[in-house]
Amino acid sequence: MSLPHAILTALMEKPSSGLELTRRFDRSIGYFWSATHQQIYRELGKLETGGLIRALPAEQPARGQKKAYEVLPAGRAELARWTAAAQDPKPMRDVMLLRLRAAAVVGTAGLEADLRRHLELHEQQLAEYREIERRDFPPGKDGPEDRLRHLVLRAGIDLETFWTQWLRRALTDFPDMPAPEGL
Amino acid sequence: MSLPHAILTALMEKPSSGLELTRRFDRSIGYFWSATHQQIYRELGKLETGGLIRALPAEQPARGQKKAYEVLPAGRAELARWTAAAQDPKPMRDVMLLRLRAAAVVGTAGLEADLRRHLELHEQQLAEYREIERRDFPPGKDGPEDRLRHLVLRAGIDLETFWTQWLRRALTDFPDMPAPEGL
DNA sequence: GCACTTTTTGCAACTAGTTGCATAAAGTGC
DNA sequence: GCACTTTATGCAACTAGTTGCAAAAAGTGC
């Protein structure tokens, strides 16, 4: 149940409409909590009903017209409560690791190409993160909020670094292992 | 749609009943693709209906009685197809990173304790993986299947290593930053 | 042989996320 | 000023995963 809190965080940073939120989820926040616009609109509705946010007064609310939301005190309190509450880490779920495990029983045919493709994708993501770091966290910019956000970004950088290294290693000692023929 | 393939992989390694699968998901396979017994039973039903697996002949099938499944040729083919098919990596979703980001706007009160707890949990998991490596992959055991499975395990080890390092760093330069008082 | 627990299987309801599409307003080209 | 695209909001149906519970068989204690 984290999407509402992701939205509250984004709205605290800056009151926004659904579409603006969607765009920001495609960039910063979405890097570690992705969401589609449908999810966001649905959740905005629930948050408004629940009294955690409210629509900023607009001339006439109508379809196809921007409607911006801001966080109410109750929403802020809920976000603080959630942030402090203990939560267990979710067990990892990774398809590529599962596919490698499957390859150990049905053969590696066809897998190598996708490993290369993933390596490229992770390299791109890593480059993007590094660019953000260069742009948004120049030396000296280190207020408490910056320190926290930088820490989050560094997790992204280190994770992508891990994947690129692991994928390179996988490609290096990849056994050429066609599917065993008998059933 | 990976659960059926996780189950097929497990059944290829060894025909099993639902409960045996559940136990194995709690150990090896579940380390990177977790599932509850309810999910497993439901999926076994679908796989059987779909003709990908079949129940091994038992005396009389009845409730509360072990029913083991084995993979049929169609199931093996489907697993090979899925393994080779290109798939995009899923965008990451991590609650702790989100909480840190939230803490940048509502303050860090209460978070530190849970960071410590997570560090401990990740250290435990890392120790467990290392123990498995010591036990299951002694030097010399490196057939093609072993190489692949070892690669998967190493991803787990490196990921847990990353988390422990990152959490230690987070705790080190954690700003003491109570919630800003004004709304 | 009867109560009690454990093992094994499973259903039903709920929550979260995804996919596909619709509808209204506003801008754009000519 | 009319067709066409873009922006912005949203509903509905579907898929995957989680939670809570229960029922049948088999083992256990006395």
pLDDT tens readout for residues A55-91:
886 544 444 567 899 999 999 999 999 999 999 999 8
Closest CA to B51 of B27, B78, B28: B78
Q: pLDDT 10s per residue in chain A (183 long)?
A: 899 999 999 999 999 998 999 999 988 899 999 999 999 999 999 999 999 999 886 544 444 567 899 999 999 999 999 999 999 999 899 999 999 999 999 999 889 999 999 999 999 999 999 999 999 999 887 888 899 999 999 999 999 999 999 999 999 877 676 666 554
DSSP class of residue A69 equals E
> In the block, which residue shows the tokens 């207020």?
A143
Per-residue pLDDT reduced to its tens digit, B129-177: 999 999 999 988 788 889 999 999 999 999 999 999 999 999 987 767 6
Two structure tokens written together for A119: 């390596």
Does the pLDDT at position B181 exceed 90?
no
Which pair of structure tokens corresponds to residue A114? 């996708």
Cα-only R_g, chain B: 21
Residues A159, A150: Cα–Cα separation, whole Å: 14
Which phi and psi angles does B160 have, rounded to 5°? -65, -35
Cβ of B94 and A121 within 8 Å?
no
State whether the Cα torsion A32-A36-A42-A44 is positive or negative.
Answer: positive
Return residues 68-97 of A near B (CB < 8 Å): 73, 76, 79-80, 82-97
pLDDT tens per residue, range B132-142: 999 999 988 78
Picking from A94, A123, A164 by the largest number of B CB atoms within 10 A of its own CB, the best residue to mutate is: A94
The closest of B115, B83, B3 to A89, measured between CA atoms, is: B115
Minimum Cα–Cα distance from A72: chain B residue: B183
Of B73, B86, B28, B152, give the one whose Cα is nearest residue A180.
B73
Query: Do the Cβ atoms of B94 and A155 come within 8 Å?
Result: yes
Identify the H or E element spanning B53. strand B53-55
Q: Is A71 helix (H, G, I), strand (E, B) or coil?
A: strand
Q: Which of A52, A66, A69 is nearest to A15 (CA)?
A: A69
Q: How far is CA A58 from CA A12, A18, A30, A62, in A?
A: 19, 14, 27, 10
Instruction: Classify residue A113 as exposed, middle or buried by CB count within 10 Å of its CB (0-12, 13-18, 19+).
Output: exposed
State the pLDDT at residue A20: 92
Closest Cβ–Cβ partner in A2, A89, A162 for B158: A162
pLDDT class for B60, splitting at 50, 70, 90? very low
Alpha-carbon distance of A78 to A55, in angstroms, equals 18
Interface of A with B in 35-64 (CB under 8 A): none
Q: What CA–CA distances, in Å, run from B84 to A172, B51, B80, B87?
A: 18, 21, 6, 9
Interface of B with A in 4-23 (CB under 8 A): 5-6, 8-9, 12-13
Query: If 0-12 CB within 10 Å is exposed, 13-18 middle and 19+ buried, where does residue A132 land?
Result: middle
In degrees rounded to 5, what are phi and psi of residue B68? -95, 145
Rounded to the nearest integer, the mean pLDDT of chain B is: 89
Is A36 within 8 Å of A76 (Cβ atoms)? no
